[in-house]
Structure 1
Amino acid sequence: MFHLSLFRPFFRLSKYLRASPAIGLALGAIALLICTIYSLTLGNTNISLETIFRSFTAFTSFADNDRFEPLIIQTVRLPRSLMAIAIGAALSVSGALMQGLTRNPLAETGILGIGAGGALAVVGTLFVFGNSSSVVYAGAALLGASIAAVAVYGLASCGAGGATPLNLTIAGAALTAFISSITTAILVLSQQTLEEIRFWLAGSLAGRDFDLFLQVLPLTILGLIMALLLGKQITTMSLGEEIATSLGQQTLGVKLLTVISVVLLTGSSVAIAGPIGFVGLVVPHGVRFFIKTDYRWILPYSAIFGALLLLTADIAARLLLKPQELPVGVMTAIIGAPMFVYLAKSKVRK
């Protein structure tokens, strides 16, 4: 009885949001705005809310010797928050797309090796060519993510029954281990490469290149737009490819567009902050507690709450060992690993 009474409000909220899903999006957007404002206050320098608001509304009113704090807000803290929002939305939407397309509850860019493929491409580029431009690293991440996605699907298709959820999970785990071993070997051989990229490999938002973020942001936006436009088709594909074909859907075209969207979202995220895992696993499953199967709502919900999750994880990473900070990828792993174990024991077995 205690257990049922504890969770009854969540069931009521779930029924209410299914009837009026736009309300949940609005509440998520409000929570995201509040967390963004709070994120702007965090740092070695304590900055008041009044200064934060004035730095955007009346920057010229500050005297020259008083513009240090507004500049911190505009050049350091706001860019970091914006990157967390964009990357969180991209990773969670890409995870939702993959889960809907493959009907695999464990489908996620980190688990299926797509993020690891992008990371290996960046590490390999740095090892072979040395320091290159940010655009080169972004292109390498996109190429590596694309190759990893094709490789995982090809390996899974070779198994008994084709690319089943279990085969995809096993193929992704095997490919991730293989790619990670190559990445580790490169870092062992080149101490210079390790020194330059080790914090990035853990998945971090600290000191990220905001110019690179602005350069790859169009790719992220394009990937998100493609994903949102595919909501109806992914809902049909989640019922099974045979059913989708019988309903007249061009499944090959939907698969191709979905893979392009996933690669754009994952590659741009890896290029900015490195491989950050489990966001695309945790958020879509949390969203489905309220929005069951309609990807026209699951995808925008995943974008909002994925951004909220990664921004919250970044805040926790800065607060937990203050004044030191953990990479945000460590925080998402702490959250996502138990979810992965639960799903592996329950849904994949079914």
Structure 2
Amino acid sequence: MSVWTEKIDKDEIGGKRKQQFRSRPWAASLILIGGSIATVLSVALSVSFGAADIEFATVWEAIFAFDSTITQHQIIQELRLPRVLGGAMVGASFAVAGAIMQGMTRNPMADSGLLGLNAGAGFALALCFAFFPGLPFMYQIMYSFLGAGLGAGLVFGVGSLAKGGLSPVRLVLAGAAVSALLAALSEGVALYFRVGQDMAFWYAGGVAGTKWNQLELMAPWVLGALIASMVLSKSITLLTLGEEIASGLGQRTRLVKLAGTIIVLVLAGSAVSVVGAVGFVGLIIPHLTRYLVGVDYRWIIPCSAVLGSLLVMLADLAARMINPPYETPVGALIALIGVPFFLYLARKERREL
């Protein structure tokens, strides 16, 4: 019996209602094709518009016939193009990390920002700037991985101490508490060791300072993690049915969770090391994707990557267009959507408890 198209009685996993597990390949195909086209157009718009608007013809020439003596070509190649590509990778990373976390934990409010991964990575970066100034970006990424793991471990540990064990709401409350603690520690380290300027990019959140060397180091990690997430996608779909059912269908649930956790840490750590404190991408995009394509993670993961990239690129473009020549923090713009959405989910979960 196929778990992708049959009705599953939720009594088998502790529920009382029936839920239909369906996928919509046609909708996913439309999202992948349409989203990819929209992403290319967004790249063109983002490279063209800014403090100084540049014509599309000049953008084309700067990419395919670069001339280092032309100032506009230098602006495109050294500033705008790495910024846009960095935003695309960051959006895909946050979105896929959120989708995997929600699938593995069966927690609709799971997100790298809400569950302490972003704050943990920021704390690790603060220690890196304080004790190892001038450390190459490669090692900063490694510190981000370790910090993200620390944040996640603390959140799950604190959440498990509550009577009755973990629940979606308790997990988010523990994430808020741990994130606040780690953020305060990061600020304390920044003030005491006078590395506040180095940490400023992380607090603001944005892709303005992205450089080619950062993308060269980040890309292999992100691409490898995205490929691994696709390999793991079928197993994550089975985990959404519950561990007992997944085990009964032949899944090695502990191994799947371990692999999924490593993928999430790599994606979240890489993204935070580049873009800083940008939250809610991994919360909003997986929910939107599931609504459009169903619950098959073989479609959710690639569609989340495309939509996440599109969201961050458009938010970055809007950040430059709202009050030129000044820039609005990208994290603040995404939070305008993310906070109401989070409150809606929290209220929904409370009604279902």
Q: Shared fold by TM > 0.5?
A: yes
Aligned 8 A contact 1:203 1:327 in 2: yes
Partner Cα distance (2:158, 2:39) in 1: 39
Partner Cα distance (2:243, 2:169) in 1: 17
SS of 1:347 mapped into structure 2: helix
Partner Cα distance (2:166, 2:244) in 1: 14
Q: Deviation digits for residues 280-320 of structure 1, max 9, x if unmatched?
A: 00111111221121111111110000000000000011111
Q: Deviation digits for residues 101-153 of structure 1, max 9, x if unmatched?
A: 11111100000000100000001121223332222221111110112222222
Q: Which residue of 2 aligns with 1:43?
A: 50
What runs of 5+ residues in structure 1 fail to find an aligned partner? Answer: 1-14
Matches within 5 A, 1:325-336: 325-336=327-338
In the alignment, structure 1 residue 186 sits paired with structure 2 residue 189: yes
Task: Give the counterpart of 2:262 among 255, 260, 263.
Answer: 260
Letter in 1 for 2:150: I
Letter in 2 for 1:154: G
Q: Which residue of 2 aligns with 1:54?
A: 61
Letter in 2 for 1:48: E
Matches within 5 A, 1:259-338: 259-338=261-340
Aligned 8 A contact 1:105 1:348 in 2: no
Aligned 8 A contact 1:205 1:327 in 2: no
SS of 2:266 mapped into structure 1: helix
Q: Which residue of 2 aligns with 1:29?
A: 36
Partner Cα distance (2:142, 2:351) in 1: 38
Q: Which residue of 2 aligns with 1:166?
A: 169
Partner Cα distance (1:274, 1:231) in 2: 27
Greater Cα offset, 290-299 or 206-215:
206-215
Letter in 1 for 2:156: Y
Structure 1 residue 250 displacement after superposition = 0.5
Letter in 2 for 1:235: T
Q: Which residue of 2 aligns with 1:106?
A: 109
Question: Residues 151 and 297 (structure 1 numbering): CA distance in 2 closer, same or farther, change over 3 Å?
Answer: same
Partner Cα distance (2:298, 2:237) in 1: 8
Q: Which residue of 2 aligns with 1:198?
A: 200
Greater Cα offset, 284-293 or 262-271:
284-293
- RMSD, aligned CA: 1.8
Partner Cα distance (1:335, 1:32) in 2: 20
SS of 2:209 mapped into structure 1: coil
Partner Cα distance (1:177, 1:58) in 2: 48
Aligned 8 A contact 1:39 1:81 in 2: yes
Letter in 1 for 2:336: I
Structure 1 residue 17 displacement after superposition = 5.4
Partner Cα distance (2:40, 2:59) in 1: 13
Matches within 5 A, 1:206-217: 206-217=208-219
Q: Which residue of 1 aligns with 2:18?
A: none
Partner Cα distance (1:234, 1:164) in 2: 19
Partner Cα distance (1:327, 1:297) in 2: 31
SS of 1:321 mapped into structure 2: coil
Aligned 8 A contact 2:159 2:166 in 1: yes
Letter in 2 for 1:178: L
Q: Deviation digits for residues 245-282 of structure 1, max 9, x if unmatched?
A: 22221000000000000000001111112121000001
Greater Cα offset, 313-322 or 192-201:
192-201
Partner Cα distance (1:27, 1:149) in 2: 35
Q: Which residue of 1 aligns with 2:156?
A: 153
Structure 1 residue 16 displacement after superposition = 11
Aligned 8 A contact 1:18 1:290 in 2: no
Partner Cα distance (1:123, 1:144) in 2: 10
Give the number of aligned pairs.
331
Partner Cα distance (1:207, 1:154) in 2: 35
What runs of 5+ residues in structure 2 fail to find an aligned partner? Answer: 1-21
Output the TM-score relative to the length of structure 1.
0.90
Partner Cα distance (1:104, 1:27) in 2: 29
Aligned 8 A contact 1:102 1:164 in 2: no
Q: Which residue of 2 aligns with 1:137?
A: 140
SS of 1:289 mapped into structure 2: helix
Partner Cα distance (1:339, 1:257) in 2: 29
Q: Which residue of 1 aligns with 2:346?
A: 344
Structure 1 residue 231 displacement after superposition = 1.0
Output the TM-score relative to the length of structure 2.
0.89
